[in-house]
Amino acid sequence: METTPLSQAFMDLEKKSGANNYAPLPVVLSKGLGARVWDVDGNEYLDFLSAYSAVNQGHCHPKIIGALQAQSQKLTLTSRAFYNDQLGPFESWLCGLFDYERMIPMNSGTEAVETALKLSRRWGYDVKRIPENQAKIIVVEGNFHGRSFGIISASTDPDSRGGFGPYLPGYITIPYNDLPALENALKDPHVAAFLVEPIQGEAGVVVPDPGYLMKAYELCKKVNVLFVADEVQTGLGRTGKMFACEHEGVKPDLLILGKALSGGVLPVSAVLSSNEVMLTLKPGQHGSTFGGNPLACAVARAAVQVLIDENLVERASKLGEIFRSELKAMNSPIIELVRGKGLLNAIVVRPHGKSSTGQPRSAYDVCHDLLHLGVLAKQTHVTAIRFAPPLVISEEELDRGLKAIRKVMTV
């Protein structure tokens, strides 16, 4: 599928008038339905990225779009200066569904993580009685929680962090999947929380050892430290459980959600926690003009209901097993490693052959080849390719995608 004058015109407009903060693959999308998308020239593709797992329910799911249309004709935004008839019912329903006492709605995943960081510090001061301005948060190497100042200060990624200092203090960074390092860091009495992704998505779908999450949770509980799970990408069915922490029976003290909370229709995120944590916030201390708007609440409730009604959690578990099994069965010399859970998977690609620049072919080159075979995926870093199709993908569509991957991996 070659770049046409029409698609090139759209790409040129972005390059001329937009910031250079992304490096998209050369395809211009204009329509989506389920697991498929179409470009401006009418070419069809299988979406194996799902907008970084925001579109778990598939593109333009009719029930979610229906909720959007119905609510948009009644009331879209009131701000939190007033009550509205969607927020309270949504909060009560979601807390009951996921067994939490309270939630705070925001917009982006980054905002939700920032909210969890603020809640953790506030709890540390008000409940744990950490001395003023001494609260610390433990984070792990390779994390990706967003790109705000509070978050990049906790990052080890040079692309996210480099050139934006000075950074905010108050973080202790340890290796991921390293329980002795966590146990040692927890000796600091000023630690308020441990923030972790159950599976590191942006790092290349890095899955920790079995038992890591449960043992980490237990270590936190021993010293009265909050266990904070960033499930923005791993949550809401993606890994074959409603939340990735459920694979080890862990219920986080703070649960961070985003992306698929709206089925990719508009920005919705949330932090769920207990009365003890959430009630440390008082009026005026945190919020957002658009957070908890009635349109977002109606859409998010419909999006979560779709996951339940269509058994998408179970579907992710079943199809994920098939997908990883087929990838491993390829026995390709290009594939160094296959890893993942549910429909959040990745392959690590060995450098091979020669690219157009004369350098060894990388994960980016593989994604380019897949694009020309009608499959959209995106590399993360130099060697890993993340595969995360919508959970509604059919077995026939999954097989089509596997055939394209197999063709690219054959040398």
CA distance 376 to 48: 5
Under the phi-then-psi rule, with left for phi > 0, alpha for psi from -120 to 50, and beta for the rest, what region is 188? beta
Query: How many whole angstroms separate alpha carbon 176 and alpha carbon 179?
Result: 8
Q: What does the alpha-carbon distance between residue 118 and residue 124 come to, in Å, rounded to a whole number? A: 10
**Active-site hit among 128, 136, 241, 259:** 259
Coil, helix or strand for 86?
coil
Coil, strand, or helix at residue 179?
helix
Strands laid side by side in the 384-387 sheet: 335-341, 344-349, 384-387, 378-380
For the question of residue 39 being annotated catalytic, the response is no
Per the DSSP assignment, residues forming a β-bridge with 379 are 385
Instruction: Given the residues 39, 90, 128, 144, select the one marked as catalytic.
Output: 144
Q: 337 CB contacts (<8 Å, ≥6 apart)?
A: 347, 348
> Does the active-site annotation cover 407?
no
Candidates 50, 168, 187; CA nearest to 114 is: 168
Residue 270 CB-half CA count within 13 A: 27
The residues, any chain, with a CB within 8 Å of residue 175's CB and separated by 6 or more, are 140, 141, 181
Catalytic residue among 39, 47, 230, 253: 230
What is the per-residue DSSP string for 127-169?
TS-PPTT--EEEEETT----SSHHHHTT---HHHHTT-PSPP-
Ranges assigned E (strand) in 26-116: 29-33, 36-39, 44-47, 102-106
259 catalytic per annotation: yes
Active site residues: 144, 230, 259
